[in-house]
Amino acid sequence: MIKTVLIIIVVLALITAWLITRPAVPKPYVEAYQSALDRLPGSDEAIDAGIERFETVYSDLTDDAVGDRVRDLYAETLYFNDTLATFETREALAGYMKKTGESLDRSSVQIDSVMRDGSDVFVRWTMTFSTSSMGRVIESESIGMTHLRFDTDGRVLLHQDFWDAASGLYRNLPVVGYGLDLVDQRMADAHKD
């Protein structure tokens, strides 16, 4: 048992060292997001109806009808990135959201504020969920913002989330969370003077 724990600690230390010393790599989603902004211009019309449907979809992802609600909210062709996955079709997104909802015991997204800049809509939110992983109940609360663009029917053409998935999700996982805590500690130690 002690040998296994030591091996895990050494592996996590090596991963941490690699994460701290490796050069920054551009994220491919940056280019995909910029491309989506260029090809999905959005519309000022029907934004209110779209925002209302957005609130309904994300108010409870565990609802059995979440797949149908996603189909009602999003355009057939779209750009969606929640920092965990990227989709360009409504059907793929509906399947993803249904699967996500099935993995949760409880979920809610509270809309804290909505800001508009022409056809761009920015929604600031607080998300809470609970789920079980490796026999452990995970309770999570995180904050984020979503950039939305709607078509003339109030359907989402572009959905880009900005949130800290490491703190909101991964930090709660037993082994991964421990590794992230080690990275945080090393970074804090590096900045002490």
Using CB atoms within 10 Å of the CB of residue 94, give its burial: 0 to 12 exposed, 13 to 18 middle, 19+ buried. buried
Q: What is the CATH architecture of 41-175?
A: Roll (3.10)
Domain assignments of the chain as residue spans, ordered by start: 41-175
Q: How far apart are CA 61 and CA 81, in angstroms?
A: 16
pTM of the entire predicted model: 0.74
pLDDT value of position 171: 47
97-109 pLDDT, tens digit each? 999 999 999 999 9
Continuous segment of H or E residues that includes residue 20: helix 2-21
Burial of residue 38 (number of CB atoms within 10 Å: 0-12, 13-18, 19+): exposed
Q: pLDDT (tens digit, 9 = 90+) per residue, 107-154?
A: 999 999 999 999 999 999 999 999 887 777 888 899 999 999 999 999
Q: Which residues contact 90 (CB under 8 A, 6 or more apart)?
A: 70, 71, 74, 75, 76, 77, 78
